[in-house]
Structure 1
Amino acid sequence: MNRQIVFTAPWQVEVRKEAVPDRPLVGREALVRKLYTLISPGTELACLSGGESWFRMPGIPGYAAVSRIEAVGPEARGFAAGDIVFHYGNHSEYEIVKAEGVFLKVPDGLELPLVPFTRMATVAMTSLRVSTIELGDHVAVTGLGLIGNMAAQLAGLQGATVIGVDLSENRRRLAEACGISHTVAGGEGAAERVKAIAEGGVGTLIEATGVPQVAVESVSWIRQYGELILLGSPRGRYETDVTDLLNSVHLNGRGCITFKGAHEWRFPVEEDPFVKHSLVRNSKVVFGLLKSGRLRVEPLISHILAPEEAAAAYDGLKNRKDEYQGVLFKWV
């Protein structure tokens, strides 16, 4: 049977069973069986809330998987049954997908529970790809969930002194376990603490919470000619007078700060000789970082659960954020 995690209505999660797909595969299709899938907390909780118009209920969430190929179509060259692959798979045990784009063989020696984190790391990597971060810069990251934590790690690998900012003491502790240079409690007094570490202000601020108020209020942490990078997708309503914010961009004496969007889909999927970055190339880079241990994921894994525990997993990510961080479903 094909087990599937289904969002049936806002805040309603079920595990359903259907027959395993049994039709002939065509073209570059592949039938895969999931080994591990990873919950993306921000996106999937937004979907579960009913707040994402593109996600229709009932629907199967998820987009990060490591799987074993069961069968391939006649044009799926380079792949065979038994291959272990990373791809953008959902939370179902079996799935027919295209063996193209980000559908990559997993390097030998890379631990399988780490592989789905490649998706979150490439999301985080977008903030570095669009930035001007150089060796010796100060960088602040607001929000130390999975993506913010990995953005902070990647900024450190790029040579920056990194300051991770989060309200949660547990997330700050995890960031320190992952090698983040400095952590600061969010909220009152955060600006002063960040500026003290950064010698007056950071050159780059990566906003990973997706909370508009955090983005607006953290602009004052950025030094003149610095940049604010919107990594987390802004969600929720926030009303304010934007004149001061716009002057931080416009006026030389107030900052000349640059705002940049860092959504992962700004880059092409496939490698292209005329474009340096792509989702495929970024994924391969992450494979190397994970395998070498330079990108640390193990401290972020809080739970490895059976699919039948899905309702508890999403409840934990929503209501017990200090206990639930990186949550994997183990399918086999």
Structure 2
Amino acid sequence: MKDYRVTYVKKKEARLVEHEWEDVELAGNEIFGQNILSMISTGSERGGFLTDFSADSYPMETGSSSIARVIKTGKDVKGICEGDLFFNDGHHTLLVKKSEEDIIPVPRGLAPEKALYARYAAVSMTSIFKAGIKPVEKVIVTGLGLVGIMCAQVLSSFGFDVYAVDPSPERREIALKVGITNAGGSLAEFSGLNWAAGALMECSGNENAIINSLDYIRKGGEIYQIGVPWNKNSDWDAHSLLRSLFYGFISIHGGWEWSIPRKPGDFAPHSSNGHIRSAMELIAQGKIKVVEDMYELRDPRDCNEVYNEISIPRMRPTCMILDWREFGKTASK
């Protein structure tokens, strides 16, 4: 049986590499499946594609968000059956084997293209869970890419008064389509917001977003840096930021999504997997919307072309999804 894996072979070059699948035996709690869709994380995977890692780091497999169809289950698997769909956090591969506790079943009737977005809705949920703000406070979201558009919707579904900004008219148009009514090019467009927001969820990775938002955060407010700051975009100094934070009684936090446990425990009800599961339910209920303008389906055989395309930031769609369905009909035989 053949497997195929999207692999960085060097800086700025990705290939779909064939492997012989030899891991055919299933433990009692394991599930064997075939991925039908896998989503490219525009920020993180763009960064990996463009970074010149050491020579011994290659070849490097990539990806962290896929929907697979169950082909076979171990004898102890109870919660999912052959033919069902499940989320997994594996790489961009055709075949996948996971233990039942490491997968999340897709609710019946939910389109897999929409289910994939639960992974990126969960990115900001770590910060929202840690924040001291309460509904129905005003919250600012900067950046309406893949993570930001999900963050704004999660906050809105929780009852917060969301003000989202992005310089891209295309992204603001998508925000309006999914129900984010306060979507603008800058915070100056919104009346009554000065010194009023309880928190800033910074999803762009651009430090200018923080500086431009400080006059809109109330005393005692919070900033969460959720977007990865891959590149330096300004020459402002740390003193200017620290002075504003100090006199505004504003706290600033890293928004790293993995700062909570991967799985829930007795004293840790919030977890990454739990957040993905909750986000998937919100999508299934229509409280978080995914519209076709938000993604583009691409053949995994075109992976190098796709990564080169996203290496130049685009305003629409917000992400690329590798569609393994046609390819998978014959490739693994």
TM-score (norm 1): 0.88
1:99 paired with 2:100, answer: yes
Residue 38 of structure 1: how far off its partner (Å): 0.7
**Which region of structure 1 is more displaced relative to structure 2, 11-20 or 313-322?**
313-322
CA distance 1:80–1:248, change in 2 (3 Å): same
In the alignment, the residues of structure 2 paired with residue 191 and residue 174 of structure 1 have an alpha-carbon distance, to the nearest angstrom, of 18
Asked if 1:204 is matched to 2:204, the reply is no
Q: What is the CA–CA distance in structure 2 between the aligned matches of 1:202 and 1:220, rounded to whole Å?
A: 9
| Aligned residue among 191, 197, 213 for 1:218 | 213
Alignment of 1:231 with 2:226, yes or no, is yes
Distance in 2 (alpha carbons) for counterparts of 1:119 and 1:28? 23
* Counterparts of residues 119-268 of structure 1 (less than 5 Å): 119-185=119-185, 190-194=186-190, 196-237=191-232, 240-250=236-246, 254-268=247-261
Structure 2 alignment gaps of length 5 or more: 326-333
> How many correspondences in the alignment?
322
In the TM superposition, what are the counterparts of 1:265-284 in structure 2 within 5 Å?
Answer: 265-284=258-277
CA distance in 1, matches of 2:17, 2:46: 19
CA offsets 1:118-141 (integer angstroms, 9 cap, x no match): 111111222321223323322111
* Residues 212 and 235, structure 1, Cα contact 8 Å, conserved in 2: no
Whichever residue aligns with residue 65 of structure 1, its letter is S
Out of 276, 285, 292, the position equivalent to 2:285 is 292
Q: CA RMSD in A?
A: 2.4
Q: From 315, 318, 326, give the equivalent of 2:319.
A: 326
1:13 aligns with 2:14: yes
Deviation by residue 1:167-191 (Cα, 9 ceiling, x = unmatched): 2110111111111121221xxxx35
**Contact 1:65–1:115 (Cα < 8 Å) also in 2:** no
CA distance in 2, matches of 1:6, 1:47: 11
Q: Is the 8 A contact 1:6 1:58 kept in 2?
A: yes
Tell me, in whole angstroms, the C-alpha distance in 2 between the residues paired with 1:209 and 1:2: 35
Displacement after TM superposition at 1:318 (Å): 2.6
* Correspondence 1:12-161 to 2 at 5 A: 12-26=13-27, 28-50=29-51, 56-73=57-74, 78-101=79-102, 103-161=103-161
Contact 1:34/1:68 (8 A) holds in 2:
yes
AA in 2 matched with 1:209? S
Distance 2:52 2:172 in 1: 28
Partners of 1:315 and 1:123 lie apart in 2 by 25
Q: TM-score scaled by structure 2?
A: 0.88
Maintained 8 Å contact 1:5/1:60 = yes
CA distance in 2, matches of 1:140, 1:112: 29
Deviations 1:275-325 (A, max 9, x none): 231123212211211111110112453311111122232233232512332
Q: Is 1:310 the equivalent of 2:303?
A: yes
Pair 58,141 (structure 1): closer, same or farther in 2 beyond 3 Å: same
Query: Is the 8 Å Cα contact of residues 194 and 217 (structure 2) preserved in structure 1?
Result: no
C-alpha deviation, 1:142, in angstroms? 0.8
**Distance verdict in 2 for CA 1:22–1:154, change over 3 Å:** closer
Q: Report the Cα distance in structure 1 between the residues aligned to 2:293 and 2:122, rounded to whole angstroms.
A: 16
Letter in 2 for 1:311: N
Letter paired with 1:11: K
**Alpha carbons of structure 1 residues 240 and 30: separation in structure 2 relative to 1, 3 Å:** same
Which range moved further: 103-112 or 230-239? 230-239
The whole-number CA distance in structure 1 between the counterparts of 2:309 and 2:239 is 39
For 2:8, what is the secondary structure of its paired residue?
strand
Tell me which amino acid in the other structure corresponds to 1:241: D
How far apart, in 2, do the equivalents of 1:232 and 1:304 lie?
24
Distance 1:114-1:153 versus aligned 2 partners, 3 A rule: same
Distance 1:225 1:326, change over 3 A: same
State the alpha-carbon separation in 1 of the partners of residues 291 and 252 from structure 2.
32
Are 1:9 and 1:50, in contact at CA under 8 Å, matched by a contact in 2? no
